[in-house]
Structure 1
């Protein structure tokens, strides 16, 4: 077998091209500028993922503590369709979800989302078919949208988009988390009570069957993908 030696720039470019960020917020079909309403992440150049679910980076992966204050907050209505656009195709197979949290004292504050206040509003899990394995609906798309729950109370929130890439998740710490947090002001809301709520870090241990999984060698008795984190809030 012939061996090939790859130069460092080529290897780094290849790795970066396989990763992604979620810099653009989508509001009723309109795509905002990079990092206009999404907090700029620490991987905005490298595109590299978070792999430690116990780190503060698992929350919003901010570049630094000045990012929240330098990010604009966009007004949306309960019931609107919003989402995130990646800076390239969502290349890796994985699990896609969206969370929200009330933002106190404001969406552009560093204190927003620090407690057990996050609730899941949407998910797009892998689909299992016996004899065929897992199919990943989110793979190779570039954007995803969700509906802000109509019964969500008005106020300022963070919306957290997350893809958990599972292509090397067969060992602890192998799952890759790609994260973006948008700052929003929700109007025309309802009187719902979101839940169950979790914290970031804290929502995951890393040992969940939907995070620690060999997607290429499933057990013979496998019956389906188990979504990590809380159940989707049933509005």
Structure 2
């Protein structure tokens, strides 16, 4: 009995240390964000070659109930539950839904993703991560986007156990949005696919962040695109 209780408490503690990204703006969980595999367990993706690395979707092919309308040039909060408890970089990618499909029906496959947000650590006596402990990230929606439906992909990489390949933990979800008021001139230079954007041994993914303390850090993936 005591062992069973201990195992239950340990599992609960591990789950509480993890997190999900279930909502955008001031909206209910999983209303505009596709339900992820970890919606109950909070566990991460660790295999970057898995299809889960794209949207970590619980039911592939099934969209969220709604698609959220946002103005180009505004900022949109992407919310964590309960908070981003691990050290590591936060990034947000966007992909334009092709003609004939909607944000609720498209799977996001192919070299269609561009990075529109990325944070980096403060270096010194330790690595201090701006997103650690945050409950929400403010994402700037480029003013030059073409109007229409998009998938917005939030990604936080927990680097606390990333000293060997496969140790990094990816916390991911995809929101369904419709962009209005954009100029339509957005022309990203570096489109990537998921899987495909990362290697398990990329220096921003396989890294010991504690000792020796890194003197520099380069996030994985492409550079942030601008208008």
TM-score tier (shorter):
over 0.9
Larger deviation, residues 205-214 vs 222-231: 222-231
Q: How does 1:25-174 map to 2 (within 5 A)?
A: 25-26=24-25, 31-68=26-63, 70-104=64-98, 105-111=101-107, 113-129=108-124, 132-174=125-167
What's the CA shift for 1:15? Answer: 0.5
Structure 1 residue 168: Cα displacement: 0.3
* C-alpha contact 2:97 2:106 (8 A) present in aligned 1: no
Per the TM alignment, residue 194 of structure 1 is displaced from its structure 2 partner at its CA by: 2.1
Shift, 1:66, TM fit = 4.8
Q: Equivalent residue for 1:18?
A: 17
1:186 maps to which residue?
A: 179
Residues 150 and 176, structure 2, Cα contact 8 Å, conserved in 1: yes
Which stretches in structure 2 are left out of the alignment for 5+ residues? none
Checking the alignment, whether the CA contact within 8 Å between 2:15 and 2:41 is kept in structure 1 is yes
| C-alpha deviation, 1:223, in angstroms | 3.1
Rounded Cα–Cα distance in structure 2 between residues aligned with 1:71 and 1:42: 17
Structure 1 runs of 4+ aligned residues shifted over 2 Å read none
For the Cα contact (< 8 Å) 2:53–2:195, is it kept in 1? yes
Tell me the SS of whatever aligns to 1:9: helix
Distance 2:209 2:113 in 1: 28
- Verify the 8 A CA contact 2:78 2:139 in the aligned structure 1: no
Q: Show CA shifts across 1:94-113 (max 9, x none).
A: 110100001132111143x1
Shift of 1:197: 0.5
Give the TM-score of the pair, scaled to structure 1. 0.90
How far apart in 1 are the matches of 2:18 and 2:201?
A: 23
Q: CA RMSD in A?
A: 1.5
Deviation string for 1:54-74 (max 9, x for gaps)?
Answer: 000000000012531x43111
1:210 aligns with 2:209: no
How many residue pairs get aligned? The number is: 222
> Offset of 1:77 from its aligned partner?
1.0
For the residue of structure 2 that corresponds to 1:125, the secondary structure is: coil
Report the secondary structure of 1:37's partner residue: coil
Q: Which runs of 5+ in 1 are unaligned?
A: none
